[in-house]
Structure formats: structure tokens, C-alpha cells
Amino acid sequence: MQTSAPGKLILCGEHAVVYQRPAIAIPLRDVRATITIAPAAPGSGLTVKAPELRAVWRLQAQEPLSALASMTLDYLKLAEPDVELTIASALPIASGMGSGAAVGTALVRALAYVAGRTLDAASIAELVYTSERAFHGTPSGIDNTVVAYEQPIWFQRQAAGPPLIAPLEVGGPWTLVVADTGVASSTHAVVGDLRARWQADPAPYERSFDAVAALVVQVRAALGGSDGAALGALLNRNHELLVELGVSAAQLDTLVAAARSAGAWGAKMSGAGWGGVMLALVAPAIAATVAEALRTAGAARTWITHLERTP
């Protein structure tokens, strides 16, 4: 038996979303983390294996996945089962594609399966969020939410209470080319650095966050329409604001410029920045050409993905 969860991309609004502005995220349905569930000898307990990382964790370890597994077993009111869970992930780590949230979500689903239960997306997102917060500072919760819901979402933290989460209308259909700089980057570090700069001098950052929020509203409308050039221009503007916020990187800016020169309607970094991935909105006919241009410009890996129209 296997469980799985998709990767994700932030289409618009990363970082500002930590400061209660809205953001839009989409699932990457065909780039997934998978967990294979196998029974283990009686009394052997729970083992989580990540062969790609040459890592093996037991339930008691001081590790994020062990903590998430303990919390999930408590939630399910399940005693430690004798199972071996083996992780395989097509998502590069620390790249902005939601690898941590995808593995966490697949893990919660695997333990729910062992308990003979199916958990709804909101409960899964909450469990993964609680464990991410324990290990990764002040995440907004958008990553675990889009991964658990597996649909394009509007997400906004509230001053109090649960975040606002709404599924989004998708027009298009849209084609995205995603490129990994190959530079690993810690979300925790980038979010923490921005927080320190914001604390020292909030006003300019608040203005940038408001500008991002206004863009996100426009992106929601454009996403539901079919004007690629209009949506692309908004993504370009979001990239410029992220550069101003100090979260981009030379490699990201190079790839963004290469995608635009190759004919993309728009391109931006996606996720925490300082490394990780960028995305480009393209006409389907030029997707392969843009991907090639991105590899020539130094991308370690590229993916072509589609956002289908909502029925």
C-alpha cells in the first residue's frame, strides 16, 4: 500500500503571506512524495526510512518526521504500530516545491491508513502545520494547506482564528515551466532574515507587502480568465517586488530573464527564494523551448506542468 502527496508552487504572494496578506498556491500534481507502508515484525514499532537521504528514524527521535508521526498517532488515538514506512520523493529538498509538506502529508495519510481512517484535508493540514511550526519558525501555513487540499487555493492568515482558505477558479488552461536553480535554500533562514529587516524598519516592507497583496487580487482574476500576457505581466511585477524584498538571488534573476527572453508571458521566483525554483507562464507551444532556454541558462532541472480549467 502507498500514500502520496503533491508538491506545490506559490503562484503569487510568498513572504507577504507570512504578514497576513493573501497568496495563491497551486499543487504540482505530477511531482509527488510517496510513502510505501509495509508490516514489520511484532514488537518492532514504527520505522520511517528515507533511502534517498540514507536516513532511518524511529518514533522517539528528535526529528521533524518522528515528531509528526507521534502527534498523528496521538490524534488518531493509535498505539505505536509495527510498520515500516519508506519515503520516496520526486521533489528536490529545500527548493520551494513543498518537499517537506508533501512528505509530511503522505506520512499522516500513511498512519491514518494504518489506523483504518481517512482524514480530511483540513485535519491533515493542521497536523503538518503544527509540526512545521515546531521545527521551522513562523511558516504561514500555505504550503501544508495547498499540499493537503491538492487544488489551487487562495490563502490568508487572520489576526486570530484559522486562515481563510478558498479554492480558486482556473481559466486558461495554463502551462508553467518550472526551473530549479540547484541552489538549496532554507525557508526558515530567508523568512527569519526578512523578519529581522522588517522589525528594524517596518514601513517600507509594509508598503511592499501591500503592493504584493494588490497584485494577488489581480492574479486571482487573471487566473480565472484566459489572457496569458495579462497574467504574465502580474507575475513579472511580483518578481520585481520580491527582488525589492531582498529574497531573490542572482541565479533566480538569470533564469527569470532567460524565460522572458525565450518568450514566456511572465516569470518569477517561487517560494522562499535565495535559491530554489522559479516559474514561467508560457503558451503551450513554446514550453519545451523555454525549458531548454532555462537549462542553457544554468537550471539544474526543469518541469513542464499544466493547470487545468476548473469545470
DSSP 8-state secondary structure symbol assigned to residue 286: G
303: left (phi over 0), alpha (psi -120 to 50) or beta: beta
12-20, 29-37, 226-234, 284-292 -> range binding ligand MEV (CB under 6 A)? 12-20
Of 87, 112, 191, 249, which lies in the binding site for ligand MEV, with binding defined by CB under 6 A?
A: 191
Annotated catalytic, 253? no
Tell me the closest approach of the beta carbon of residue 275 to ligand MEV, in angstroms: 12
Residues 55-84 that bind ligand MEV (CB under 6 A): none
Residue tagged active-site, from 30, 74, 120, 143: 143
Residues 92-111 that bind ligand MEV (CB under 6 A): 96
Tell me the closest approach of the beta carbon of residue 158 to ligand MEV, in angstroms: 14
Of 4, 99, 187, 251, which lies in the binding site for ligand MEV, with binding defined by CB under 6 A?
A: 187
Tell me the closest approach of the beta carbon of residue 234 to ligand MEV, in angstroms: 17
Residues 134-153 that bind ligand MEV (CB under 6 A): 139-140, 142-143
d(Cα 88, Cα 120) in Å, to the nearest integer? 23
d(Cα 152, Cα 261) in Å, to the nearest integer? 28
Residues 261-280 that bind ligand MEV (CB under 6 A): 271-272
Alpha helices by DSSP H, listed for 169-297, are 187-200, 202-224, 228-244, 250-261, 287-296
Rule CB under 6 A: say whether 232 interacts with ligand MEV: no
136-173 core/surface letters (b: 16 or more CB in 10 A; e: else): beebbbbbbbbbbbbebbbbbbeeeeebebeebebbbe
C-alpha cell at 61: 527521535
36: left (phi over 0), alpha (psi -120 to 50) or beta: beta
Active site residues: 143
Tell me which residues touch ligand MEV (CB under 6 A).
Answer: 10, 14-15, 17-18, 96, 139-140, 142-143, 187, 191, 271-272
